[in-house]
Structure formats: structure tokens, C-alpha cells
Structure 1
Amino acid sequence: MSGNSRSKRTIIVDGVPLPDVLDETMIRGVVHGFYEEIRRDELLGPIFRQRIQADKWPQHLAKMCDFWSATLLRTARYEGRPLQPHLAIAGLGEAHFRRWLKLFRATVRRICP
């Protein structure tokens, strides 16, 4: 039976199964590391600074940890519709999304085994 439960939890990203060591600590490290990069980024940083006040970052990071925990570990900690707020950002386009993906992938490669 353990083989069955493992196969149900296996998530493939870019053709690679997520590691067995994936846990809340790793998710937190990725989320916090990623958003550190975002905040410093010349293209994405200004957009995030306009949308999230400095004192609201802890809540945003907690919400993003909940999102990724629900998505990757199936914890059901996140409730919401993550796409809607992003669609409302004027001027957000493909270049921004590509940069977001590049930074996210680089952060995952740096932090995850």
C-alpha cells in the first residue's frame, strides 16, 4: 500500500518528481528566498512594491507558504483564487511572467536538493 500512497503524492515538475524530502521547511525556504529575489529584481520589484506595503510582507509570505503547501503537500491550508489578483494588475505581461518563472526556477535549484 505504501507504493500506492507515494504514487498519489508524486508531483512532476519539468519532468522531475518532487523530492521525498519536500516538507514545510523546504517550502518556507523556497517562498522566502524567492520573494527576496523578487523584491530586488529590477523588473518585478517595483510591481510588488506598489502592490504590497512593507508591513504586509509577512502576511503575503505566509499566504504563499499556505498556497505551496496546499499545492505540493495537499494540506488544504490555502483557500482562494490566486489568478484573480494577478489579472487585475495593469501592465503585467509575458515578460513579467517569464522573469517570475526564471527567478522561481533558480530559487528552487538553489535551495532544493
Structure 2
Amino acid sequence: MDDRLSVRAAPAAPAAPPVPIDEAGIQALVHGFYGRVAEDALLGPIFARQIGEGGWPDHLDKMCAFWSSVLLRTGRYGGRPMPPHLRLAGELSDAHFERWLGLFRETARAELSAEAAAGVIAMAERIANSFRLAVAFHRGDDTTRMRPLPAG
């Protein structure tokens, strides 16, 4: 008789159901969201400085590709989204992440079906919390006591 404990791999968690969205929905979401960001008193100046006046078309294309890759698994985005955010670590605070999420939620709910909005908002919340944690860690903050941003 073997007295050692047998360790078995836990069954894989079921895959998250796909978000009911298509490329047209992603484009409406991204363009609507960044239209709000550009006009926002807190976020607008940061984006304007980083993207520049003539850089918006390229940025919007890149963000459409990013969300297409995240939501539809198209593989259209081949970039690295974290480094640009880490370069801004000294000026980003929870207020920036909260405002970003607030505008994203508003836009998703305005542009998408309730079911699609819920799916993209859940993904955006995970991404925002991940980026927020990475930015804080990069700054040297004590991230062990950070709590996730409130879901909305």
C-alpha cells in the first residue's frame, strides 16, 4: 500500500463564453471610447501628449486590432501594450485607471448590446487592474496591499 498522497490535476476550468461582438462592434466601441478620452479633462491631455495630433488614426487602428485579438482571438495585434503604460508610471494614479474604466463602461453600454457590453467591460476591468498593478510595481509601490478597482 502506498501512503503517499496522489495528486491529480484539477479539471480545466471551462472557457469563458465568447463575447457576442464582431469587428464592427469593436470599431464602434474603440472609436466611441477614444472620442470620449480625447475630450476628458483628466485623460485627454495625457493621450494628446503621447499620441500627438496626427497619431490618432494609427492609435485607433492599433486599439481595434488589440480588442479584436482580445475578444475575437484574431491575432491582429502584435504589439506589447505594457511598455507605453510603464513609461507613464510616474504620472498615472488610481484616478486615471478609474476614469479610464468609467469612460469605457459608458461607451460599451452606449454602443453595444447589454450582453456584449458586460463581456467587454469584464475584460477591460481585468486588463485595467493588471496594468494598474504593473504600473505600481514598476514605480516601486507596495503592491501586496492593493485591492482591485471596483467593478461596475
Q: TM-score range by the shorter chain?
A: 0.7 to 0.9
Is the contact between residue 38 and residue 45 of structure 1 (CA under 8 Å) also seen in structure 2? yes
TM-score when normalising by structure 2? 0.62
Q: Which runs of 4+ in 1 moved over 4 A?
A: none
**Structure 1 residues 69-104: Cα deviation after superposition (integer angstroms, max 9, x where no partner):** 000000000012111111111311111011000000
Conserved? CA contact 1:9–1:73, under 8 Å = no
| Equivalent residue runs for 1:1-113 within 5 Å | 10-11=17-18, 18-19=19-20, 22-89=21-88, 90-113=90-113
User: Whose RCO is larger (CA < 8 A, sep 6+)?
Assistant: 1
Runs (5+) with no aligned partner, structure 2: 1-13, 114-152
CA offset at residue 10 of structure 1? 1.7
The one-character-per-residue Cα deviations of 1:12-59 (angstroms, maximum 9, x if unpaired) are xxxxxx33xx10000000000000000000000011111111111000
SS at match of 1:76: coil
Aligned residue pairs: how many?
99
Inter-partner Cα distance in structure 1 for 2:76 and 2:65: 5
Larger Rg: 2
Matching residue of 1:4: none
